[in-house]
Amino acid sequence: MDLTGREPRIARVAVLERVPSAGLVIGAIASVQFGSALAATLFSRIGPAGAVTLRLTTAALILALIWRPRARGRSRAGLWLAAVFGLVLAGMNLSFYEALHRIPLGIAVAIEFVGPLGVAIAASRRAVDLLWAALAALGIVALTHAKTHGLDGEGVALALLAGVLWGAYIVVNTRVGRAFDDATGLALAMCVGALVLLPVGIASAGAHLLEPRSLLPGAAVGVLSSVIPYSFELEALRRIRMAVFGVLMSLEPAAAAAAGFIVLGQGMSARAGAGIALVSIASVGASRRAAPAVGGA
């Protein structure tokens, strides 16, 4: 092994190369949603801000160890891009966790999905995409009018904000991928996001962040919700068509609903289920010839 850590990187990539592309995407979806469900169990002790701080801090440490990112030798434009990416990551995850504190996981993810769906539609010139936009809007209306325990206006607004930031994430992530080799840009951005959220998490949770019953599950959330899905998606996108990737990602709202039910015991009305289905169908239609919805919250 050399001092740059190149050989361990190659070994890790080689392991992922043996996994089918569809399996990587589905694994990433399951990992991030069950990670979100686990994060929700921490809210009573450290709040959403504390949970997202532990998530990004853990992810930043692991990604920094894997990719060994260095600011030295980078252009000022590239470093600014990584910094913006980190701010978007921090805002997207914090707003999503705040939404998850107020509304069920499946509904939060479905509402948040308007961000990547909007990016896909905006990148298209097809008239039929207006149909998908209308279908998604109908799904959101069904969700926000469903008689589901815990649903409130503030939670919906926060989920929409997370969706807008998810859309920004997709746009910025594309530029970061062009400016940096491998995942070094992501690693730098994750470090920025963790540093930005650290004062917020400390103000919210204080010393409770360092308690084993908070720290250990919080570290697991970082691995499940950031390290595993981002790594899986990066490898999958090397081998799979973007349209196929986008269609597979449309399973995310349903996976979130399943994780919410299994881990958190969150039920769902028929109307809410129909709303999730409409958003997923709209995403499938819009993704068939558009860019994928990469790396959700």
The single-letter code of the amino acid at 224 is L
Q: Is the pLDDT reported for residue 123 higher than 80?
A: no
HSE at residue 39, side-chain half, CA atoms within 13 A, is 35
Q: What is the pLDDT of residues 20-67, one digit of tens each?
A: 888 888 999 999 999 999 999 999 999 999 999 999 999 999 999 988
Higher pLDDT, 287 or 92: 92
Number of C-alpha atoms within 13 angstroms, CB side, residue 68?
8
Task: Check if the beta carbon of residue 255 is closer than 8 Å to that of residue 108.
Answer: no
The Cα–Cα gap between 192 and 215 comes to: 20
pLDDT band at 192 (very low <50, low <70, confident <90, very high): very high
Task: Write down the pLDDT at residue 149.
Answer: 54
Which tokens in the block code for residue 22? 């569809």
Q: What is the tens place of the pLDDT at every residue in 240-281?
A: 776 677 778 888 999 999 999 999 999 888 888 898 888 888
Band of the pLDDT at 210, cuts 50, 70, 90?
very high
Select the more confidently predicted residue: 292 or 75: 75
pTM beyond cutoff 0.95: no
Closest CA to 107 of 52, 50, 145, 53: 145
Inter-residue contact 222 to 62 (CB < 8 Å): yes
- The predicted pLDDT at position 13 comes to 54
Q: Write the DSSP string, the chain.
A: --TT-HHHHHHHHHHHHTS-HHHHHHHHHHHHHHHHHHHHTTHHHHHHHHHHHHHHHHHHHHHHHHH----TT--HHHHHHHHHHHHHHHHHHHHHHHHHTTS-HHHHHHHHTHHHHHHHHHT---TTHHHHHHHHHHHHHHHHTS--TT--HHHHHHHHHHHHHHHHHHHHHHHHHHHSSTTHHHHHHHHHHHHHHHHHHHHHHGGGGGSHHHHHHHHHHHIIIIIHHHHHHHHHTTTS-HHHHHHHHTTHHHHHHHHHHHHH-----HHHHHHHHHHHHHHHHHHTTS----S--
> What is the spatial distance between Cα 10 and Cα 2, in angstroms, rounded to a whole number?
12
DSSP class per residue in 13-76: HHHHHTS-HHHHHHHHHHHHHHHHHHHHTTHHHHHHHHHHHHHHHHHHHHHHHHH----TT--H
Q: Assess whether pLDDT exceeds 70 at residue 189.
A: yes
Model confidence band, residue 10 (pLDDT cutoffs 50, 70, 90): very low
Structure tokens, 261: 């039910």
